[in-house]
Structure 1
Amino acid sequence: MPSIPMNLGTDDYAHLFARLRTNRNRKVWSELTAHQAPHKPILLLCVLDLFDSGGFSSNLVEISEDIAELFGRYWERILPFGRTGNLALPFFHLRSEEFWHLLPRNEAAGIGPQITSLARLREEVIGARLDGELYDAIRSKENRDRLRSVLIETYFSPEARRPLVEQSAINRGAFVYSEELLKRPRDPKVQETLSIEEAYRPAVRDGGFRRAIVNAYSHRCALCGIRVRTLDGRTAVAAAHIVPWSETQDDRPANGLALCRTCHWTFDEGLLGVSQSYEVLASRQLGVPDNLPGYLTSLEGRAIFHPSAEAHRPDLRSLEWHRENVLR
């Protein structure tokens, strides 16, 4: 491939974005992704979304939880159920496009010839630096919108384009909302900061609440304490409201818990709760005949796992509401 000239403008990068090197196996990739692998376009969409959200303070694309989350959201929106995406692949292989420069952790050792997992990527790579001209270009919203359109219209079918545009709006709004929730944890009117179109508001609010809670608890279940991350960045925990949003419209971190799937279900069903002294309570119904609750009964009396920030810890009045109205 010939060397790319210096001092490229937005037109040049739009041209390069429309000609990414991708796997073009029609037997593997459907018409939804224009019969080619969507990894690189999706990762670049994530980068543009993070710029829109204020997620960059310098020219460094980090291998962060945020970019892994956005990548997974896009992937789930357009790819068949059961087909998982792997952020490590495009993050590594985008270096062939020449505007994407991987920064090795060890300059002397460099970067290996092939990286296929996030764990290995994080071991060898600090992140990626964009061409200076590209970084300057995408600091402009107009340029970001143009490059986003190029990616969506080049690499996805007309059927897939609308969901991707919607997901981009959701990603950007959810990021901003979650930052507001974490920065203003005692303000019940944070939801008024949402500025995305009304049709996207529920998804934006849900995504923002989830990001805020999962980050506050560092991906650890408040009740059982497990923290498990897959190699492609997925987490075992989800965000649960203590008092349902339908009751109070309260997305404050203090009205939330990060819970694994089992603890989430048992908490919502009133089989587990939390005392005023922040200890796990177990309902007697866990021990009814034919139940095999396993480790759940052993959680009773154990202190829950808190967020490090005092303002994000569970609200005692919310926990009291749960004990009085949900715990069996």
Structure 2
Amino acid sequence: MALPTEDVLARLATLRQHQSQGKRSPHKPLLVLLALGRLVNTGSSALPWPVAVTSLADLIQDYGPPSSAPRAQSAAYPFTRLRTDGVWILDHDVPMDRVRPLADHQVVGRLEPAVEQALRDPAVALAVARQLVEAEFPPTVAPDVLAAVGLDPEAILTTAPPAPLSRRRDSAWPATILTAWDRQCAFCGFDGQLGSAVVGIEAAHIRWFNFDGPDDPDNGLALCSLHHKLFDRGALGLTADLCIQVSRSFSARTDAGRAVYELDRRTLRPRPGTTPPSPGHVDWHTREVFKSPALR
């Protein structure tokens, strides 16, 4: 029997409770999203370990916080531990976090049958996907995550109802940040306008809103759409002395792409009177988002 929608949403919402003090841990939500993508596209959420060790490890590496853990170990953690949340089962009983038994027994994981049955309802699947992705990632990154697991970002982010927010955003904050930074990108100086309207410049949180980042002047930068995306993906970051840093993991081949390298060690120059980024928010971004090490 399928679970009621409210029960499924409640079970999956508890995955966030394993996080504390602003530390990102999207491993379990990424596994659920990957299994949901397989369910939508193949009719089954079954995920063999040989597939998970590659696809799940890729997701964690690309969208998780910086980590030095081996790829297989990063995948084994959610693959074995999601069982404790009542939404995931394995076809062979193996120890927590151990890679070797998963490979030896060719273990297959899947969503718990009642959860899987509930998620066969497209409306429930959309609601669950939106709840998970919006709890873990900012709007610049959420569509990329959904596409990476085989789900339709537009259908999920525009059709499914948003999850209730624990706090409301300050509607005046984006305009405040853009004005403070002279309506130009703090990284590259782009200042496009279309008529009288700013175009391609966005207010970016340094510490993500969904990880307790406040709508305060010291938690915002005006960034062009490209550099906002790269900042939220961890390709760009800031040092304690407010220099831009470029991740060594970032690469490009064309002159346009390689121009990003030239941002490395460029110092932010806010206009007089603009509140500079808070050291605490910069430190959070460096620990939880930036793909260290930097180019230099």
TM-score (norm 1): 0.39
Kindly name which structure, 1 or 2, has the bigger radius of gyration based on alpha carbons.
Answer: 1
